[in-house]
């Protein structure tokens, strides 16, 4: 129901419209409107071309409400535009015999006002056609009356999408992606698409899925790192939102074998600059979904809270000191384990940047700090204990890159296609990669990333 105060006069009502609702056809044409006036009048307005007739196709019979009362049957129907109540009797009632919940039907009838609290209007059905009957018993209850565990829901994911909470998660995901693209486009970033079948590891390491590629050894990309760096040579600011792959045998609610990453790379930016871009993007996502996803928030029982600027920037050195004060035996230069980050997360529960990591803990392409070469110009974005993003300033001197590759026991000859771009005048650049699924869990307030992926892939799940 939209609240749009404006004067309006009709034969059946006049005054200032305070609320207006429309039901639209599958072609997005308005078929009926419900108007509420400031004098208390409530009027259903029919568009001239349908003259009060209702014709919607297809519609799903919602399991939460299919009931008989004497000779009348009451159905709750829904499609992408919303839900409505249908009253079926007489000859039309004979056709509804045998229809199962979650079936797909076509209805024609007359719109009328209703006394039902949950609906603005109802439809008196004249004609009903069953387009597809749902076979029972169903593997899960899409209405949610009976709780289903996540594995059963994932095995019947298409049916699970009829659960309004599940559907709301993916509507939120849609709007998060829309917000990300909007923010980065406004900041002059160009969206690119990089290869997902590659000939060498993007970042070194062994956590790669390998495959035979026409008689050659190939891998599924674990990130767009090398390609997005190369693109700054000509496009300056680029981003990609795509699936990537890591063969990590992790069995947590935070890890996936196939995940969606949002990556940026920008010429003439330092790590402080791209931290600002990331901070803006995250806050924009929260603002955008707060405004655009009111129904989804209501369905999920959440209230999106926009994080405050600026995110705290905490150095690795300070975190080490904090952990030592908590009794942890940890020396400078050691990586932070999950147990360490959980301690840190209790003290810093919101968004914060963990900056200036030891250079030896970072990939070969990360640049050192000139005044402290043992440290790097790098950061992680944390939400409490949860790492959301990693980024930094990149090396753009090819000789330094070769040296760093050797220091990390990587063969520079396997990176020759990447290194040649640095001989053509590679500008200084910086960037980051952000885990979309993890960001969504912070937004929605859930612990398992599988909830925000249609068909997740992990060490145990390859189908459906």
CA distance 232 to 224: 13
Does residue 216 carry a pLDDT above 50? yes
Q: At residue 171, what are phi and psi to the nearest 5 degrees?
A: -70, -40
Shared domain check, 281 and 171: yes
Q: Is residue 369 part of a domain?
A: yes
CA distance 422 to 401: 10
Lowest mean pLDDT among 104-113, 258-267, 326-335: 104-113
End position of a domain, from candidates 121, 136, 151: 136
Q: Is residue 101 part of a domain?
A: yes
Shared domain check, 279 and 224: yes
CA distance 236 to 268: 8
- Beta pairing partners, 289: none
Shared domain check, 437 and 309: yes
Here the CATH number for the domain that contains residue 93 is: 2.40.50.140
End position of a domain, from candidates 9, 28, 51: 51
User: What domain range is 94 assigned to?
Assistant: 53-136
Region of 200 on the Ramachandran plot (φ > 0 left; ψ -120 to 50 alpha; else beta): beta
Token output for 81: 């535009």
Instruction: Give residue-wise pLDDT tens across range 176-191.
Output: 999 999 999 999 999 9
Q: Is residue 59 part of a domain?
A: yes
Q: Is residue 291 part of a domain?
A: yes
**Between vectors from CA 168 to CA 163 and to CA 174, what angle results, nearest 5°?**
135
Tell me the pLDDT band of 283, cut-offs 50, 70 and 90: very high
Shared domain check, 230 and 92: no
Here the CATH number for the domain that contains residue 257 is: 3.30.930.10
Q: Is residue 143 part of a domain?
A: no
Per-residue HEC secondary structure of 236-272 comes to: CEEEEEEEEECCCCCCCCCCCCEEEEEEEEEECCCHH
Shared domain check, 358 and 321: yes
Q: What is the pLDDT of residue 334?
A: 97
Shared domain check, 78 and 8: no
Shared domain check, 237 and 90: no
Q: Is residue 275 part of a domain?
A: yes
From residue 202, how far is each of 33, 219, 228, 258, 396 by CA, in Å? Answer: 55, 10, 11, 16, 16
Does residue 279 carry a pLDDT above 60? yes
Shared domain check, 304 and 202: yes
End position of a domain, from candidates 34, 51, 68: 51
Q: pTM here?
A: 0.85
Q: Is residue 1 part of a domain?
A: yes
Shared domain check, 17 and 130: no
Q: What is the pLDDT of residue 159?
A: 96
Shared domain check, 110 and 25: no
CB 87 within 8 A of CB 125: yes
Question: In the chain, how many domains are there?
Answer: 3
Lowest mean pLDDT among 12-16, 54-58, 79-83: 12-16
216-220/258-267 β-pairing:
unpaired
Shared domain check, 307 and 218: yes
Cα atoms found within 13 Å of the Cα of residue 165, Cβ hemisphere only: 14
**Residue 53, class by beta-carbon neighbours within 10 Å (0-12 exposed, 13-18 middle, 19+ buried)?**
middle
Q: Is residue 318 part of a domain?
A: yes
Shared domain check, 280 and 224: yes
Q: What is the pLDDT of residue 161?
A: 95
């Amino acid at each position: 129901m939209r609240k749009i105060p404006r004067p309006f006069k009709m034969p059946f009502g006049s005054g200032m419209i305070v609320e207006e609702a429309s039901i639209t056809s599958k072609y997005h044409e308005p078929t009926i409107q419900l108007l509420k006036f400031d004098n208390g009048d409530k009027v259903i307005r029919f568009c001239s071309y349908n003259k009060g007739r209702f014709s919607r196709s297809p519609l799903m019979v919602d399991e939460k409400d299919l009931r008989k009362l004497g000779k009348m049957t009451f159905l709750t129907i829904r499609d992408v535009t919303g839900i409505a109540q249908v009253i079926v009797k007489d000859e039309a009632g004979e056709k509804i015999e045998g229809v199962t919940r979650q079936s797909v039907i076509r209805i024609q009838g007359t719109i009328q006002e209703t006394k039902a609290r949950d609906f603005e209007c109802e439809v008196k059905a004249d004609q009903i056609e069953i387009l597809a009957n749902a076979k029972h018993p169903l593997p899960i209850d899409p209405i949610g009356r009976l709780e289903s565990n996540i594995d059963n829901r994932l095995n019947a994911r298409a049916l699970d999408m009829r659960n309004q909470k599940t559907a709301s998660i993916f509507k939120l995901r849609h709007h998060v992606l829309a917000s990300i693209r909007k923010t980065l486009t406004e900041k002059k970033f160009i969206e690119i698409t990089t290869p997902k079948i590659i000939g060498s590891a993007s970042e070194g390491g062994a956590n790669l899925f390998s495959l035979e590629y026409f008689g050659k050894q190939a891998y599924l990309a674990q990130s767009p790192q090398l390609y997005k760096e190369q693109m700054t040579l000509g496009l300056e600011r680029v981003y990609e939102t795509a699936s990537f792959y890591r063969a990590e045998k992790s069995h947590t609610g935070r890890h996936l074998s196939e995940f969606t990453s949002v990556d940026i790379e920008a010429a003439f930016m330092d790590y402080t600059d791209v931290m600002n871009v990331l901070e803006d993007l995250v806050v924009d996502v929260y603002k955008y979904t707060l405004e655009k996803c009111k129904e989804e928030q209501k369905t999920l029982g959440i209230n999106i809270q926009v994080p405050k600027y600026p995110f705290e920037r905490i150095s690795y050195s300070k975190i080490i000191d904090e952990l030592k004060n908590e009794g942890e035996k940890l020396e400078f230069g050691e990586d932070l384990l999950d147990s360490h980050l959980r301690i840190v997360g209790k003290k810093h529960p919101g968004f914060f940047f963990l900056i200036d990591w030891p250079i030896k803990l970072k990939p070969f392409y990360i640049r050192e700090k000139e005044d402290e070469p043992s440290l790097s110009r790098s950061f992680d974005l944390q939400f409490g204990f949860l790492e959301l993003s990693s980024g930094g300033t990149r090396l753009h001197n090819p000789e330094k890159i070769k040296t760093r590759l050797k220091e990390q026991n990587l063969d520079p000859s396997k990176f020759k296609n990447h290194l040649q771009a640095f001989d053509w005048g590679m500008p200084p650049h910086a960037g980051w990669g952000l885990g979309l699924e993890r960001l969504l869990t912070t937004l929605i307030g859930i612990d398992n990333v599988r909830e925000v992926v249609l068909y997740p892939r992990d060490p145990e799940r390859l189908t459906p």
